[in-house]
Structure 1
Amino acid sequence: MAHFITFLLVLSLSLTFSLLPETASAQLRQNYYAKTCPNVESIVRNAVTQKFRQTFVTVPATIRLFFHDCFVQGCDASVIIQSTGSNKAEKDHPDNLSLAGDGFDTVIKAKQAVDAVPSCRNKVSCADILAMATRDVIALSGGPSYAVELGRLDGLSSTAASVNGKLPHPDFNLNQLNSMFAAHGLTQTDMIALSGTSF
């Protein structure tokens, strides 16, 4: 179990730093919200802890949500955007239909907690909340905590078509999986760890 948690940590860090799209890139840094929402990390951690106490499914659900978000358009929370009458969003693509609701609920509850603080309202991106929540579920499940650099921008576009060919499938062979993960700067070890939460 300790090795699995370590793999998840490495993977989470790799996703956090390597998969931001150029169009939504930002200058990431610790204490990004020091002036606008100085307690954001503790607010998110408290909300995630409450959700974790309700169900352990929060852990794999949040990690998998982060993975699916980062692999499609970068870590921009576009997987959370709802479909509209004229647009089918990422979350409604067949490859995302099995994402557990607890992952989405974790981010929604953390965002609500952040926005309940007047000085923080509409100042913290869902993309950063998802990255912090992923770090927090790893720590809550027995893994280490780590610093998350913040400043991600939320994606403004989410289409089901953008998911096509971006996520691994259960019938992929080892070479296909290694190739897909290597394209994102991830190793075979990262792929093995993440596949445990994905299929």
Structure 2
Amino acid sequence: MRRLQFLAAAAAAIFLLALPLMATAQPKLRPDYYAGVCPNLESIVRGAVRQSVALSPLAAPATLRLFFHDCAVRGCDASVMLIDPAGGDEWRSPDGVMLKPEGFSTVMSAKAAVDSDPQCRNMVSCADILALAARDSVFLSGGPDYEVELGRFDGRVSSGGSVVVPHGTFDLDQLNAFFSGLGLSQTDMIALSGTCQRARVHI
């Protein structure tokens, strides 16, 4: 029961995080954004995430943590997925804490599954696929299912210099200030930090 409550709190926090950061830079988001061009989008993504979760226990927490980092740094635009050949990627955080490959592979597998559908190919943003994959990771881990509003644009810039995320040297006041700046409470911080911590360790 405690695990389900924890996942529910993490899901609520990530949902709240996504809303304010996307509101100013995107068109109006809506659940049926792709209804006319990719009507099976959600079932395709969930099927791909289910396969990833079955392959690795790290897939779900790593995907949630990936979504958090994406939203917290440049807004929920999937810029965290971009790869800089010179090694200056946004996801290579300054303190050397690397995001787990299971999160990236989960999202890439979901994108490949979406693009393999002729009706959906090149119609769905990676940002929306990442948002759906994070939701499905929570649900498939025993957490709540919730509606995801869609219509995000993909970012084109990924810079390690733009990464400002909490790390091991932050005290409680610094952590509270960081999450408060994202519109999240201390309860949200605890839920997200605890859930995403699973992606840093081997289970």
Per the normalisation by structure 2, the TM-score is: 0.91
Residue in 1 aligned with 2:16? 14
Amino acid in the other structure paired with 2:188: D
C-alpha distance in 1, partners of 2:51/2:84?
Answer: 28
Over the aligned positions, Cα root-mean-square deviation in angstroms equals 1.5
C-alpha distance in 1, partners of 2:97/2:168?
Answer: 14
Aligned-residue offset at 1:64: 0.5
Q: Deviations over 1:78-116 (max 9, x none)?
A: 00001134x722123335752110000010000000000
In structure 2, runs of 5+ residues without a counterpart are: none
Residue in 1 aligned with 2:180? 182
C-alpha distance in 2, partners of 1:53/1:144?
Answer: 18
For residue 193 of structure 1, the aligned residue among 188, 191, 194 is 191
Q: Deviations over 1:48-68 (max 9, x none)?
A: 001111112111100100011
Per the normalisation by structure 1, the TM-score is: 0.93
Residue in 2 aligned with 1:143? 143
C-alpha distance in 1, partners of 2:155/2:120?
Answer: 19
Amino acid in the other structure paired with 1:19: L
Aligned-residue offset at 1:15: 1.8
> Do the aligned residues in 2 keep the contact of 1:20 with 1:73 (CA within 8 Å)?
no
C-alpha distance in 1, partners of 2:66/2:89?
Answer: 14
Q: Deviations over 1:123-154 (max 9, x none)?
A: 10111001100110111011110110000100
In structure 1, runs of 5+ residues without a counterpart are: none
Match status 1:91 vs 2:91: yes
C-alpha distance in 2, partners of 1:70/1:21?
Answer: 12
Amino acid in the other structure paired with 1:176: Q
> Do the aligned residues in 2 keep the contact of 1:83 with 1:92 (CA within 8 Å)?
no
C-alpha distance in 2, partners of 1:95/1:77?
Answer: 21
Amino acid in the other structure paired with 1:195: S
1:125-136 maps to which residues of 2 (within 5 A)?
125-136=125-136
Identity %, equivalent residues: 51
Equivalent residues, number: 195
